[in-house]
Structure 1
Amino acid sequence: MAAVAFVALIGAAGFRATPSVMLHPLHAEFGWPLATISAAVSVNLLLFGLTAPFAAALMDRFGIRRVVAAALVLVSLGSGLTVFMRTSVELILLWGVLVGVGTGSMALAFVATVTGRWFVKRRGLVTGVLTAGGATGQLIFLPVLAYLIEQSSWRAASLVVAGAALTVVPLVLWLLRDHPSDLGLPAYGATEVVPPVPAGGAARRALGALRDAAKTRAFWLLAGGFAICGATTNGLVGTHFIPAAHDHGMTETTAASLLALVGLFDIAGTIASGWLTDRFDSRILLGGYYALRGGSLLLLPALFGDAVRPSMVVFILFYGLDWVATVPPTVALCREYFGDRGAVVFGWVFASHQIGAAVAASAAGIVRDQLGNYDLAWYVAGLLAIGAAGLSLMLFRRRTVAFTPAMAGAPGSVPR
């Protein structure tokens, strides 16, 4: 189950590598400002997050297999149809809306749902491995897409992403299962086969989880930190690192290879973070991850050049290890604070991640258009990440209140 989920996440990850290598080619062909193209990325990132909690609830209602297969088809359609676009509105509809909804349904709430249903032991480790699926996809797709754009066109790269997503659909329909009880098995580490509990309406379940979680201090601290996490990863580095490196004379293929290395080190970092989450307090881990990320971003503007220097390689290694290491402890804390609703609540926390990413993607594009460089964006992101470390450590100050009746099915009390 974990292996099939990992492959599905790789198939959906192709588009996550697309915007950073296509900003300049789209600008060159259509003349659209970088801020306009970044707006399409922002819509994608926003829907990527806002779809997640509803997708998690839909998985409870209709099953993981159906939702994941439909999501992969949407990603394929949205990426493939871009070869016919002529206006920036079409870019926003395809990149932003269609792919945003598709990738959002394959977001980290999917990871939380799989680990919550199928694993009792090794949850943190498996969360880390599945989260690394996105980084693995980035590692695979970024150099390939950059090479295709350089040797052929951005349209060829779009078709490759569409084909990759579509290829995974038969595997999902064949092997993915909704619950361990479908196979007559207990969850890994459990001793009893537990039949699934029928779920109500997906929208009502998702909104009800948000209503109850929003009453707690823990939710806002987690959401605030994760919003900054999104701003400093997908929104800024994931979208604008390659254009920023290109501004300093580095070729896009070289810059894409560096960003792919982030994905390589991210695999190790995220799996290690999952292992650590099984053993240490997640609040301390989050505080350390965010603080170290902030320090590295403050140094980044001085590291760019027309060639790859050792200092940049050290940054890539360090930043890669920290890229999505925040996910396993955040998932664990959502489960700790919100019980059986943890996956759906994490979907809302992840929505804040993507809101932060969307704001950063657009804001960095505006900074570049207005100032001619990205320096201000890097400095602001570094300071915000240090602030996220503070929010994470504030989770130690908490009090316990009773669950509302709407939260039945979760443990009997919730830390606030």
Structure 2
Amino acid sequence: MASTNSKPRVHYGWVVLIVTFVTLLVSAGIRSMPSIFMLPFEEEFGWSRGGISGVVSIGIFLYGLVGPFSASVLLKYGIRRVMVFSLALLAAGLVVTPWMQALWQFEILWGVVAGLGTGMMANVLGVTVANQWFVKRKGLAVGILTASAATGQLLFLPLLARITVQTGWRTSVYTAVGVLVVLMILVAVLMRNHPYDVGAAPYGSEEKSKPAPFRGNIFSAPLLALGEGLKNKTFWLLAGTFFFCGFSTNGLIGTHLIPACGDYGIAEVTAAGLLAFMGVFDLFGTTFSGWLSDRFDSRWLLFWYYGLRGLSLLYLPYALGSGPLNLMIFSVFYGLDWIATVPPTVKLAAREFGKEKSGMIFGWVVVAHQIGASAAAYGAGTVREWLGSYTVPFVAAGAVCLFAALMAIRISKREPQLA
């Protein structure tokens, strides 16, 4: 008989990582759907670009605000239970969406419900999984899970854009609901909360210890973590750089690149393909960033990521007006850097505040990210209405990224943790 102490060939942490990756990419794909619906909603309902952008802005903000609290909820109630509940909430909002008739209904379904549902399955989920299941290769795990956001666009946006053009946006919504139902079953069957649940130690460790129970209130614990962070210079620099990160990624490009392409006569499916193309390169770029963050100074990684992103955004207005080749160059250059900032930011937060608090601290850093994204989503749509062009928002985003690069190298190389 085989020894009961023999180790499995594949550590179950990698199974958990794959399930989490799929969940995050589906959540990211669904979260990006309003960028596809912006033009159809203008045509069918007569809603303004600014009004639709305002709904997207609310969803982005709530997506970020939920993060610190989701970290404590995940620790208290378990990763699997929270994931299933969040997927069910998101599916419920999607099911009702085809019957909406007024902008306020869109605000509730996609500003509030979708914002809360996807917020529970945000980057904080990936950080929590990496902390629970990995000692070795943690940076790589965070990079892979972070890359799922771009991969979600890679898999979903072109398909959903084609369905929207050919059969209408309602069919796209029901397609997403079907994917969510299948995913809920997958999570319920395969997901586990902690290595102890399968009698294993975290990957890279030999210690099979039962997880410590979550102590404290799920609402007060994140607020106490925030209070600790506010006293720390590194927290402010991480939150500040991440504000500009959100301003220049999902708030601006993720929300407005497709309608911006429409201003230049570029078809919606083609524009969605550009975002997907970025997703291909971000999958490699962010995963490689996780590998780099295990080996190099994360401050200088952030310096280069923000600096190169700023240059690519300054190039975008020229690329939009000068043909497909230049847009392709932008997509490759920008895509490699889309969310490569996450792994080094996570590492710096964990180094400064420790493993137990890093999820909640990073959650508050993500709140800053989403405030920036929310401002860009609403502001860019409003500026487009005023000026008839996205040039000013794109150039402004490029400039603030260059400023963020300078902020990154101001982070202290090593500071003691606060008591």
Which of 279, 289, 299 lines up with 2:295 in the alignment? 279
1:141 aligns with 156
Q: Secondary structure at the match of 1:133?
A: helix
**2:90 counterpart letter in structure 1:** V
1:387 aligns with 403
| Post-superposition offset of 1:139 | 0.5
1:3 aligns with 18
Counterpart check, 1:364 vs 2:383 = no
**Contact 2:225/2:361, CA 8 A, preserved across alignment:** yes
Which of 328, 338, 343 lines up with 1:323 in the alignment? 338
Deviations 1:5-28 (A, max 9, x none): 111112222212301111110011
Which of 154, 166, 172 lines up with 2:181 in the alignment? 166
2:103 aligns with 88
Which of 77, 80, 84 lines up with 1:69 in the alignment? 84
2:238 aligns with 222
Q: 1: CA distance between counterparts of 2:36 and 2:367?
A: 24
Counterparts in 2 of 1:2-401, with a 5 A limit?
2-199=17-214, 200-305=216-321, 307-308=323-324, 310-339=325-354, 340-396=356-412, 399-400=415-416
**Contact 2:285/2:336, CA 8 A, preserved across alignment:** yes
Q: 1: CA distance between counterparts of 2:40 and 2:199?
A: 52
| Post-superposition offset of 1:390 | 1.2
| Post-superposition offset of 1:306 | 8.0
**1:207 counterpart letter in structure 2:** L
**1:272 counterpart letter in structure 2:** F
Q: 1:307/1:147 Cα in 2 relative to 1: closer, same or farther (>3 Å)?
A: farther
| Post-superposition offset of 1:191 | 1.4
Q: 2: CA distance between counterparts of 1:174 and 1:214?
A: 40
Q: 2: CA distance between counterparts of 1:201 and 1:66?
A: 18
Q: 1: CA distance between counterparts of 2:328 and 2:417?
A: 48
Deviations 1:336-366 (A, max 9, x none): 0110200111111111111110010000000
| Post-superposition offset of 1:166 | 2.4
Deviations 1:55-88 (A, max 9, x none): 1110111000111111111111222211010000
Q: Secondary structure at the match of 1:158?
A: helix
Q: 2: CA distance between counterparts of 1:289 and 1:79?
A: 35
Q: 2: CA distance between counterparts of 1:140 and 1:351?
A: 26
The TM-score normalised by the length of structure 1 is 0.95
| Post-superposition offset of 1:402 | 4.2
Q: Secondary structure at the match of 2:219?
A: helix
> Which shifted more, 205-214 or 230-239?
205-214
**Contact 2:67/2:366, CA 8 A, preserved across alignment:** yes
Q: 2: CA distance between counterparts of 1:144 and 1:306?
A: 26
Q: Secondary structure at the match of 1:303?
A: helix
Q: 1:401/1:165 Cα in 2 relative to 1: closer, same or farther (>3 Å)?
A: closer
Q: Secondary structure at the match of 1:249?
A: coil
* Runs of 4+ deviating beyond 6 Å: none
**Contact 2:353/2:418, CA 8 A, preserved across alignment:** no
**Contact 1:48/1:101, CA 8 A, preserved across alignment:** yes
Q: 1:399/1:272 Cα in 2 relative to 1: closer, same or farther (>3 Å)?
A: closer
Deviations 1:207-242 (A, max 9, x none): 111111111111110001001101100000000001
2:13 aligns with none
**1:101 counterpart letter in structure 2:** L
Q: Secondary structure at the match of 2:85?
A: helix
Q: 2: CA distance between counterparts of 1:230 and 1:160?
A: 28
Matched length: 402
Structure 1 gap segments, 5+ residues each: 404-416
Q: 1: CA distance between counterparts of 2:415 and 2:138?
A: 26
| Post-superposition offset of 1:397 | 6.3
The TM-score normalised by the length of structure 2 is 0.94
**Contact 2:320/2:326, CA 8 A, preserved across alignment:** no
Q: Secondary structure at the match of 2:290?
A: helix
| Post-superposition offset of 1:312 | 1.4
> Which shifted more, 126-135 or 316-325?
126-135
**2:237 counterpart letter in structure 1:** L
Structure 2 gap segments, 5+ residues each: 1-15
Q: 2: CA distance between counterparts of 1:397 and 1:127?
A: 21
Q: 1:146/1:401 Cα in 2 relative to 1: closer, same or farther (>3 Å)?
A: closer
